[in-house]
């Protein structure tokens, strides 16, 4: 085994297809077989943590125990500066996007920003915590962010979640307009996964 995980197979502890696609692509160059939580029909633990790191650990530890494999989990979200970094860890639950769709969640976020802040500060960042859990109970975490601002109307069809309204600093296109290759180089997830790769796979 040429990596410090001591295995060539790990499970991605997420049922979010957008995250699975991005993480599998970023990890593709390494000699690692990546299974998804759906492949193994793993349960979804309740995210009761108060930080991205705590929630990532809950998911990784649960998947590692259930699958008896090394597990890697991502907990991430959009932090809007003028809204005290909300929706943050509640991004997946803000205005029930699973029920109402992300277009509605994005519209609510834009309206809230306009109402509560006069729309002066539209800066935001995405944050991502990656947790790795081993069957013997050991864990390790990494955190990445990407800064940007929120555009309206939302633009583009690529990516997932809030991508159509997030324009990363240094670009004039939203994450949903940029190619996946660009997002996978500069995103919060890419940033945290790069630290994971440097630590465990190099």
Using CB under 6 A as the criterion, which residues of the chain lie in contact with ligand IMP when the complex forms? 16, 47, 75-78, 91-92, 126, 159-163, 175, 187, 189
Q: Is 75 a catalytic residue?
A: yes
Task: Give the nearer residue to ligand IMP in terms of CB position, either 6 or 48.
Answer: 48
Distance in Å, CB of 6 to ligand IMP, minimum: 27
Contact (Cβ atoms closer than 8 angstroms) between residue 17 and residue 23? no
Task: Give the nearer residue to ligand IMP in terms of CB position, either 3 or 160.
Answer: 160
Distance in Å, CB of 136 to ligand IMP, minimum: 25
- The DSSP string of 45-104 is -----SSHHHHHHHHHHHHHHHHTSEEEEEEEEEEEGGGTTEEGGGTTTTT-HHHH-HHH
d(CA 129, CA 51): 9
d(CA 167, CA 14): 25
Instruction: Catalytic residue, from 74, 75, 110, 163: name it.
Output: 75
Please tell me whether the peptide bond between 173 and the residue prior to it is cis, using omega within 30 degrees of 0: no
Which residue's Cβ has the minimum distance to ligand IMP? 161
Structure-token pair, residue 126: 């995405």
d(CA 79, CA 104): 18
Q: Which residues pair with 166 in a beta bridge?
A: 150
Task: Give the nearer residue to ligand IMP in terms of CB position, either 31 or 169.
Answer: 169
Distance in Å, CB of 111 to ligand IMP, minimum: 17
Pick the closest to residue 105 from 119, 95, 93, 116 (CA basis): 95
Distance in Å, CB of 172 to ligand IMP, minimum: 18
Distance in Å, CB of 128 to ligand IMP, minimum: 6
Catalytic residues: 75
């Amino acid at each position: 085994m040429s990596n410090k995980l001591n295995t060539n197979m790990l499970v991605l502890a997420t049922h979010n297809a957008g995250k699975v696609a991005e993480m599998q692509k970023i990890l593709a160059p390494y000699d690692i077989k990546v299974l998804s939580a759906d492949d193994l029909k793993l349960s979804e633990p309740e995210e009761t943590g108060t930080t991205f790191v705590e929630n990532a650990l809950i998911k990784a530890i649960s998947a590692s125990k259930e699958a008896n494999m090394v597990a890697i989990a991502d907990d991430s979200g959009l932090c809007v500066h003028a809204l005290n970094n909300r929706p943050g860890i509640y991004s997946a639950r803000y205005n029930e996007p699973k029920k109402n769709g992300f277009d509605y969640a994005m519209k609510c976020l834009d309206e809230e920003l306009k109402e509560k802040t006069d729309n002066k500060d539209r800066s935001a960042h995405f944050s991502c915590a990656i947790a790795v859990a081993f069957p013997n109970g050991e864990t390790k975490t990494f955190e990445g962010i990407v800064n940007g601002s929120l555009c309206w109307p939302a633009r583009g069809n690529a990516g997932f979640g809030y991508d159509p309204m997030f324009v990363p600093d240094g670009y004039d296109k939203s994450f949903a307009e940029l190619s996946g290759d660009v997002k996978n180089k500069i995103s919060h997830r890419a940033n945290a996964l790069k630290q994971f790769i440097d630590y465990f796979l190099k």
